[in-house]
Structure 1
Amino acid sequence: MPADKTQLGQWFSNNVKSLESRKSTLDKELVAAEEGKTIIKVSQDGKGQFKTITDALKSIPSGNKKRVILHIGPGTYKEKIVVESTKPFITFYGTLGQMPTLTYGGTAKQYGTVESGTLSILSDYFVGANIIVRNSAPRPTLNTNCELRTLGDDGLTFITAQARKSTKEDNGFSFVHCELTGTGTGVYLGRAWYGYSTVIFSYCNLGNIFNKEGWSDNNKKEYDKTLYFGEYMNTGPGADATGRSKLTRKLQYSEVQNYLGLGMIEGSKWILPPPKV
């Protein structure tokens, strides 16, 4: 990705071509699914086929093999939404300027860490475009179009907790050109979950909400040599390296380049431009 955020749109257009020009490189299942789209209108005013996203999802049969676009009208949808693994090829699509907000107050205490999310995607080939997903539980971390805001200054707050367990796995979190702001203080970019937790922030604007250490091993010193917590060309007061934890890796371009493109997520096989509804 380019260092200049204003060039992202052009970069995306140059690197993510249409279905018609990429049929030979995309997954065959995806190509077949995109050739028979269905649009389901979700609207709280009753003018759509469904008033809730959950009911719209229920109408999609398990084992679905065609793209189904949920065109979601404006408003706040207070639902705990799960897209099951048996329902691939689903798109949540809102309208720019009238983006719907999906919100729920689930907590780890009530549902467990994994099950507490407002929106849980368990299926393959999911697409989300022009939607806001908000966790309205106490002291939330709000994730909106990669704008992360943290509220509150009591206790500990972590932006990430990544669960890579070994070098045999190829997963990790890469945040590029994100805005991390809020009203809280003492926030950490991330903490260890397992011994090989991997998180990189690149070209991000880090506000004045962060603990100067930036990263935590979660009191598991035995993980310190294998954690991969990287930073590259971030800006803002939170990017100040003074007092940073020894866990921090100040990366060079040669080290970070694989985390800046679509190759990390094998994007050539499945990423398509947003749908036209």
Structure 2
Amino acid sequence: MGGHHHHQHQHKHPSKGRIGSVCDDFPPDFPSETNTTSYICVDSNGCCNFTTVQAAVDAVPNLSMERTIIWINSGIYFEKVTVPRTKPNITFQGQGFASTAIAFNDTANSSHGTFFSGSVQVFSTNFIAKNISFMNLAPIPSPGDIGAQAVAIKVSGDQAAFWGCGFFGAQDTLHDDKGRHYFKDCYIQGSIDFIFGNARSFYENCQLISMANPVSPGVKGINGAVTAHGRASKDDNTGFVFFKCTVGGNGRVWLGRAWRPFSRVIFAFTTMTDIIAPEGWNDFNDITRDQTVFYGEYNCSGGGANMSMRASYVQRLNDTQASPFLNVSFIEADQWLQPYS
């Protein structure tokens, strides 16, 4: 990467002091190619291969079997990014979820539907993201607003992993659409159904933060929901598992609501503040779904984890019932999940 270090220009005006190049602090330890990995670099100041993330994705060869690591320097990249099916094995490597972000501001209204509103849309297999944030900057809607859904990322490819990532939005932040996915040490914020879709996903040690408006003591209303899982048939092996996570923030919210009749969500060893409504869950106002949803809680703690007033269809899982959901075998990780390094 030597060509990307710009040397000092001769100073014609010494009185103005040293004028450094914007690229002088470009990381000196940029990783080098290996037989199995190629690197592309993105920097908004023009200090390396590309200035936009989409241009870097476009440059990856179609159907490449080797991993391409797209190294993204600090900054906010205001663009809409699509990783198509034809580009498997891509990694987005940021510099920290508070330092590197891809952001856009589409809504269901502006993009012809929630499913197209994502700032980032991933359709390929074996996608990895590390230490980067995905943001939708559209305004926070009020409950019931029409067309205000605003997805930060849609993940529609199989075998995706997110390590130390941030997901920022309000309604429908993270469209965890389909495939087997792993989220570790992530920060996920939103207001209504902010983790939704019909994927089979394991969330480990993640922070789930409600952005719903604070609710005054004594007020009964619900103004948010953490999940809306879309399992439509008992034959779908899909569901969201939250393992050793934390749920907090503002509002009075449900842990989940039954977007589809066989919605399946499990919270295990998770700490919940008292923003969780006592009934915990919602059947999308369709009592026939009470017979078909699978909502389980296991060994959770905190002010929101009291199960004494939970809805009738919520299951307090015993050890045997919980065991399929307590590790990454739920997403068959032994077949595909690479260690972080």
1:249 alignment partner, one of 315, 318, 327: 315
Alignment of 1:43-62 (within 5 A): 43-62=43-62
2:82 and 2:256 mapped to 1: Cα distance?
25
1:164 alignment partner, one of 231, 234, 249: 231
2:178 matched to which residue of 1?
A: none
**Unaligned runs of at least 5 residues, structure 1:** 1-33
Structure 2 letter corresponding to 1:150: S
1:135 and 1:188 mapped to 2: Cα distance?
22
**Normalization by structure 1: what TM-score?**
0.79
Change (3 A) 1:197 1:271: same
SS in 2 for 1:109: coil
1:130 matched to which residue of 2?
A: 131
> Higher relative contact order at CA 8 Å, sep ≥6: structure 1 or structure 2?
1
1:232 and 1:43 mapped to 2: Cα distance?
44
Measure how far apart 1:163 and its partner are: 1.3
SS in 2 for 1:110: coil
RMSD (Å), alpha carbons: 2.2
SS in 2 for 1:114: helix
Alignment of 1:89-100 (within 5 A): 89-96=89-96, 99-100=99-100
Change (3 A) 1:195 1:87: same
Structure 1 letter corresponding to 2:251: T
Measure how far apart 1:267 and its partner are: 0.7
Matched, 1:203 2:204: no
1:255 and 1:148 mapped to 2: Cα distance?
24
Structure in which a larger fraction of residues adopt strand: 2
Measure how far apart 1:98 and its partner are: 6.4
Measure how far apart 1:95 and its partner are: 3.1
Contact kept in structure 2, 1:185 and 1:211, CA below 8 Å: no
Matched, 1:265 2:331: yes
Change (3 A) 1:235 1:169: same
1:108 matched to which residue of 2?
A: 108
Change (3 A) 1:259 1:87: same
**Normalization by structure 2: what TM-score?**
0.65
Contact kept in structure 1, 2:107 and 2:138, CA below 8 Å: yes
1:240 alignment partner, one of 289, 293, 306: 306
Structure 2 letter corresponding to 1:134: M
Post-superposition CA distance 1:182-225 (Å, at most 9, x none) = 1x212111111211110111111212322222111101111111
Identity value in percent: 32
Contact kept in structure 2, 1:157 and 1:187, CA below 8 Å: yes
Structure 2 letter corresponding to 1:132: S
2:260 and 2:97 mapped to 1: Cα distance?
40
Pairs aligned (count): 241
Change (3 A) 1:117 1:189: farther
Measure how far apart 1:157 and its partner are: 1.8
Measure how far apart 1:108 and its partner are: 2.9
Measure how far apart 1:99 and its partner are: 4.2
2:212 and 2:44 mapped to 1: Cα distance?
32
1:185 and 1:97 mapped to 2: Cα distance?
25
Change (3 A) 1:189 1:135: farther
1:71 matched to which residue of 2?
A: 71
Structure in which a larger fraction of residues adopt helix: 1
**Unaligned runs of at least 5 residues, structure 2:** 1-33, 141-168, 175-185, 188-205, 215-221
Structure 1 letter corresponding to 2:114: T
Deviates most, 95-104 or 187-196: 95-104
Change (3 A) 1:148 1:171: same
Structure 1 letter corresponding to 2:238: N
Post-superposition CA distance 1:240-270 (Å, at most 9, x none) = 2242222311112211121121211111111
